[in-house]
Amino acid sequence: MNKSEAHFALELQRLIMRYSLSWLAAGCLVGFLMASLLLYPELGKFFGEFTYGRWVPVHLNFMLFGWSALPMVGVLLKSFLRPGPAGLKQANFALGTWSLALAMGGVSWLAGETSGKLFLDWVGIPRLLFMAALWILWLVLGWNYAVDLIASKAAQKRLGAMILKGALLVGLGFVPWALYHQSQRSSYPAIDPGTGGPTGSSLLISTLGILLVFALIPRLLGVERKPGLPSAAAFWAWFAIALVYFLALDHGNSSHWDGRQIAGVALLLAGAPTMILYLRDFQWRQPSLPWLTAVVCWWAALVVVGFIIFLPGVLEHVKFTHSLIAHADLAMPGLVTSLNMLILCNLAGENASSPPSRPTAHSSHSSHSSHSSHPLPITGKQTFWLWQGALIFQVILLFAIGAMEWLDTGELWKVTGYASAFFSLRLLTGISMGVAALSWAWNAWTGTHYETAR
């Protein structure tokens, strides 16, 4: 990586971190408001029509389409964009239109305009704007791919990567259409008639899609693999077996009492070690290793808990308790957040360097800042454990309350129950995670904690 490419990589990393972490902070702030409304319902009178129910899609979609999605978008931009000022402008335009559409979506959801479908609340003009943002991103990626393809000598040197990008580009072309179709009120997926939740086959194929994305991330980021390790072959062999099994399953409405559906979820449990070994076999940057460990731990916990929850006699109870929220916390604030932090840490590559930065309270050697080493905004131990520790406590708390609800559905809400203490503790964990998110976003914008070349 030459000097200009390194500078481009660092600037692109900063841009993606600013957009991504800003949406994380915004989602956490909305979550804090919702937690406050649960603990102090009387606060609702100050918000008028903006009730708790209207804040729910705002919080969920800010986290999904903002925080969860944009680091993944950053992987695509890092892989496809040609280094230079034009590439940075294209990235800023794509991220900006995406964020504008999401902000407009937030306004519409607060106004009560929603499809009523979880994570697919897009309706009206914001829905069209978001589809346009997806197409803009696709056109940016496609333009850069076409330019690379025309430069035949460069393309021949990276033939394998060009084939992978071409296939990925074709697949991404279907995403706007699929999202538009699935967000229609007349379109609904197969369900488990006994619980109204997803079937085992739906869980299997959706998780396989996510794991495919996970597997491609280090390749698209250009992270090198450690030599002589067979974990990649083991993972892809398991992936192929799981995909063939899905194709043989019933894809319509199916019960979680069906042994074939249970086996589909069990396959995810059996394949978890291959995914863990696969990710650990890449040479991730040293500052990101705590996040890699967190990814491995949260993924292991998620598949184990997910399998237990899906079992007959368990899902019927868990479905309507806080244990289901705990399971969601394992997935989103746990696994996805840790993976996104791992991505953001590795976006600039190993050799990226920054120009001298202005003097700050964190560095008394501004004249030598281009040769010093500072942590990234998201690699500090304090904020790492502030987020992870609060989340671990919150998950345990939610499972404990869920167990009480299983034994007695009204236990939490009795006059002598634990509602006040529970919601107070949950608010405190939310505050802790929100402080970490705000710290990351602040440092991403001020640029006072960026890592520079040694």
> CA neighbours within 13 Å on the CB side: how many for 448?
12
Q: Is residue 415 part of a domain?
A: no
Listed as ranges, residues in the chain with pLDDT below 70 are 1, 152-157, 228-229, 350-375, 415-417, 448-454
The domain that holds 68 is classified in CATH as 1.20.210.10
Q: Tokens for 18?
A: 């600013």
pLDDT value of residue 363: 38
Q: Is residue 430 part of a domain?
A: no
Number of domains in the chain: 1
Q: Is residue 315 part of a domain?
A: no
pTM of the model: 0.90
Q: Tokens for 376?
A: 């990234």
Report how far apart, in Å, the C-alpha atoms of 142 and of each of 70, 74, 78, 88, 319 are. Answer: 18, 15, 13, 15, 42
Q: Is residue 211 part of a domain?
A: no
Helix, strand, coil percentages for the chain (3-state, nearest 5): 75, 0, 25
The C-alpha angle 323, 324, 329, rounded to 5 degrees, equals: 95
Q: Is residue 102 part of a domain?
A: yes
Q: Return d(Cα 78, Cα 74) in angstroms, integer.
A: 6
Q: Is residue 9 part of a domain?
A: yes
pLDDT value of residue 366: 35
Q: Return d(Cα 301, Cα 299) in angstroms, integer.
A: 5
Torsion of CA 281, 285, 291, 293, to 10 degrees: 30
| Domain membership of residue 158 as a residue range | 1-188
User: Which of 291, 329, 339 has its CA nearest to residue 309?
Assistant: 329
pLDDT value of residue 384: 96
Answer for the pair 375, 451: CB distance below 8 angstroms, yes or no: yes
pLDDT value of residue 38: 87
Q: Return d(Cα 51, Cα 55) in angstroms, integer.
A: 7
Q: Is residue 26 part of a domain?
A: yes
pLDDT value of residue 354: 42
Q: Return d(Cα 299, Cα 276) in angstroms, integer.
A: 8
Contacts of 243 (CB under 8 A, 6+ apart): 208
pLDDT value of residue 410: 75
Q: Is residue 278 part of a domain?
A: no
> CA neighbours within 13 Å on the CB side: how many for 216?
17
DSSP string, 275-287: HHHHHHTB---GG
Answer for the pair 299, 339: CB distance below 8 angstroms, yes or no: no
User: Which of 265, 241, 244, 243 has its CA nearest to residue 254?
Assistant: 265
pLDDT value of residue 304: 95
Answer for the pair 67, 108: CB distance below 8 angstroms, yes or no: no
Q: Return d(Cα 339, Cα 215) in angstroms, integer.
A: 12
Q: Return d(Cα 24, Cα 67) in angstroms, integer.
A: 5
Whats the size of the chain, residue-wise? 454
Residue 181 main-chain phi, psi, to 5 deg? -65, -45
Contacts of 259 (CB under 8 A, 6+ apart): none
| AA identity, residue 188 | Y
